[in-house]
Structure formats: C-alpha cells, structure tokens
A = this chain, B = another copy of it.
Amino acid sequence: MKTETKWIILGILTTGCQTGYEIKNLMDASFQHFWKMSYGQIYPALKVLVEEGYATQSVVRTEGAPEKKQYTITLTGRRMLHRWLETPIHDTSVVKNELLVKLFFGTEMTRHQAVAHLEEQAELLQAKLDVYEQIEANICNNDESEFWMYTLNYGKEIAQAELLWCQKTKGEIKCKSE
C-alpha cells in the first residue's frame, strides 16, 4: 500500500466524510484535478487504517437506507496525519501529457493535424474552466472552504496558462507553415 494513498484517505476522514462512498464522492467533486482514486484503492485502504489503529469502524443501520460503515479517525491517526503533513513534499508528479508527446513528434504529422489537436485541447480546457467557475459560484466563501479555494485557484490558473499556450502555439505552427 503506497503510503500517500493511506494518508490522503485519512486526511479526508477529517473533512466530514465517513464512508468509502462519501470519500469517493468528495474525490470526484473536489479532488479530481490533483489526485484520483478508485474504490479499488479506497476500501482496502480503509481496512488497513483500522488494522493499524488510525481509524475505527462502526456499522450504521438506518431504516429505509442501505447499511453503511462509518470510519472515524483516532487520536493516533490524527497524530500520524500531522506528521505526514509536516514532511517535505517530494516530487511525486507522475505527469503524462499526451498532447505534448504528440506535439513533440510534430515532424511526423501535418501542421494541420497538430493545429487540430491544439484546438481540441483548447476546447477541453475552456470546458474545464467553465466547470471551475461554476463550482466557485456555488460555494459559500466561508472559513471551511479557504484551503479548498486555494486548490481550486490552482486549477483555474494552470488551465488558463495552458489555454494561452495552446493559442500561442497554434499561431506559431500556422505561421511557420506559410
């Protein structure tokens, strides 16, 4: 079990999410632009956290609802989380950018093709930006959302920069073909 996965799940337990399902929802809603996880990672990680004493599990049976397993972070768990949060960030960045890879091999395609890729990417980025704007419009800017806002800002600003680069590069590629 990669340690980061475990600590991130543990961290999410401090945000009000208590079940695997809720964790996955939070991931998809607020986290997906900087980290992704599947059920195949979440449920086993929760199990491990309980085994190690960093979280406790309780089964909740509500009438008129499916049974669910609530997880709560323990004191030891919180201490370990803080320890992880304090440690310096090592470059985990597993970057895979297919657009840049294909563009790198630009001499093997037509300029028209390269431009088409950039245009498609620009559209996707614009859509991403629109989503971010919508999210921002829908949250009340309270104390609890402070740190989330920083990560959202990151997403917005990087997408913006990517969009600008797309436009600029498109222009340069067209320019050179004349």
A residues near B (Cβ < 8 Å) are 4, 8, 11, 14-15, 30-31, 33-36, 78, 81-82, 85-86, 88-109, 113-114, 117, 120-121, 124, 144, 146-148, 150-151, 153-154, 157-158, 160-162, 164-165, 168-169, 172-173, 176
Contacts of A168 in B (CB 8 A): 153
Most buried by B among A35, A99, A100, A153: A100
Contacts of A106 in B (CB 8 A): 146-147, 150
Contacts A85-B102, A117-B89, A147-B105 hold; do A165 and B169 have CB atoms under 8 A apart?
Answer: no
Copies of the polypeptide in the assembly: 2
Contacts A108-B11, A108-B82 hold; do A94 and B96 have CB atoms under 8 A apart?
Answer: yes
Contacts of A104 in B (CB 8 A): 11, 30-31, 34, 147-148, 151
CB of B36 within 8 A of CB of A147, answer no
Q: In the complex, which of the residues B8, B86, B161 contacts A160, with contact meaning CB atoms closer than 8 Å?
A: B161
Contacts A35-B97, A95-B95 hold; do A107 and B147 have CB atoms under 8 A apart?
Answer: yes
Q: In the complex, which of the residues B4, B36, B147, B165 contacts A154, with contact meaning CB atoms closer than 8 Å?
A: B165
| Cα distance A114–B89 in the bound complex, in angstroms | 11
Contacts A91-B124, A93-B96, A113-B85 hold; do A103 and B153 have CB atoms under 8 A apart?
Answer: no
CB of B109 within 8 A of CB of A98, answer no
CB of B92 within 8 A of CB of A96, answer yes
Contacts A8-B101, A105-B11 hold; do A94 and B154 have CB atoms under 8 A apart?
Answer: no
CB of A102 within 8 A of CB of B117, answer no
Contacts of A164 in B (CB 8 A): 157
Contacts of A160 in B (CB 8 A): 161
Q: In the complex, which of the residues B86, B90, B101 contacts A35, with contact meaning CB atoms closer than 8 Å?
A: B101
